[in-house]
Amino acid sequence: MWAFIHKLGSPKWFYAISAKLQPWCWAVAALLIVAGTVWGLAFAPADYQQGNSFRIIYIHVPAAFLAQSAFISMASAGLVFMVWKIKVADMAATVMAPFGAAMTFVALFSGAVWGVPTWGTWWMWDARLTSMLILLFLYLGVIALRGAFSSRDSGSRAASVLAMVGVINIPIIKYSVDWWYTLHQPATFSVTSTPSMPMTMWLPLLVMVLGFYSFFIALTLMRTRSEILRREGSKRWVRELFQEAR
Amino acid sequence: MAFTSFADFLAMGGHAPYVWSAWGVTLFLLLASVWHARLERRQLIKGLKRRERRDQAHRATQQDTAARNAAAGGGHHDT
């Protein structure tokens, strides 16, 4: 186990193994997102109350899932970096932040647009909406804090601490719809309980959620590899990579 | 198929502005993420390759000068 962690923590080993995994992740992501898009937009039946505006669910829910999962991943990577000083974990945390912020924005934007025909308003200071907005600010805070130090190591540690503290917002987001039920409806999608919507609506949603997760993994692998090149560029093994590649 | 025609599909039962703007922004951000990641990687590789080329050229001239100095120095010693 320890040997495995240290091997995984070695940039050289990670660079090699991620090269093998990455194409598969991209292929799965593309396949699932294309299939889920066609299925969700054209084939799933319209909702009997909301009509076709409900098709926004196929991006809104996956984006909201990912917004929170990316934050938990980023904070976990921060913890690994702080405890074991594994640099690859910090590199992964670095590249997860902008994408997590983008997904939070997508969840907020698609929710606002969906809210107009459904609730008659694009925004309300509802607990779920507000805690998601806080999540966006946390992401932006982590990104800004990382860049605010002249030493990279100080920036990494500050960003890790903020991410770990910010994780407290995740259960607040999750339970906000039960604790302070004002506008946003409680969860409609769960992997553990029986779906509350018909299979023809639920399956494309499952496909999209899995597609978004694959996309996140693929993008994180790809950008962590770039981050390795950026930070470890003067290491012998990186230099050898590009001496032969001419 | 939930729609009878392509025009029907585009109209989204009157919800076209909502559905298409939400989907448009999302797909745009996904594609932009891929585009950015590719550009980032390509630029990093370009920079690293350029440095290797420069260093190799630098090493070559150094070796060249050293060889010439040695040859010149050797000649001087002989005479």
Q: What angle do CA B54, B59, B64 make, to 5 degrees?
A: 125
Residues B32-55 have pLDDT tens digits of: 999 999 999 999 999 999 988 888
CA–chain centroid gap for A16, Å, is 23
| CA separation, residue A101 to residues A197, A235, B29 (Å) | 29, 31, 11
d(CA A91, CA A160) in angstroms, rounded, equals 11
* Segments making up each domain of chain A, as ranges: 22-41+56-234
Residues A118-167 have pLDDT tens digits of: 888 888 888 889 999 999 999 999 999 999 999 999 999 999 999 999 99
* Segments making up each domain of chain B, as ranges: 6-74
d(CA A237, CA A235) in angstroms, rounded, equals 6
Residue A6: the pLDDT is 67
Residue A245: the pLDDT is 47
d(CA A46, CA B11) in angstroms, rounded, equals 13
Chain A residues whose CB is inside 8 A of the B23 CB are 37, 41, 55-56, 59
Residue A75: the pLDDT is 96
Residues A186-232 have pLDDT tens digits of: 777 766 666 678 888 899 999 999 999 999 999 999 999 999 999 99
For chain A, what percent of residues have pLDDT higher than 70?
A: 93
Residues B63-75 have pLDDT tens digits of: 888 888 888 775 5
Residues A59-79 have pLDDT tens digits of: 999 999 999 999 999 999 999
d(CA A134, CA A66) in angstroms, rounded, equals 15
DSSP secondary structure of B24-47: HHHHHHHHHHHHHHHHHHHHHHHH
Chain B residues whose CB is inside 8 A of the A226 CB are 37, 40-41, 44
Question: Higher model confidence: residue A170 or residue B10?
Answer: A170
Model ipTM over 0.85: yes
Chain A residues whose CB is inside 8 A of the B56 CB are 243
A23 touches chain B (CB under 8 A): no
- pLDDT, chain A, mean: 90
For chain B, what percent of residues have pLDDT higher than 90?
A: 37
Residue A246: the pLDDT is 46
In the A/B pair of chains, how many CB contacts fall below 8 A?
97
Indicate the pTM of the whole model: 0.89
Question: Higher model confidence: residue A28 or residue A51?
Answer: A28
B66 touches chain A (CB under 8 A): no
Q: What angle do CA A166, A169, A171 make, to 5 degrees?
A: 130
Q: How many CA atoms lie within 13 A of B55 on its CB side?
A: 11
Residue B61: the pLDDT is 86
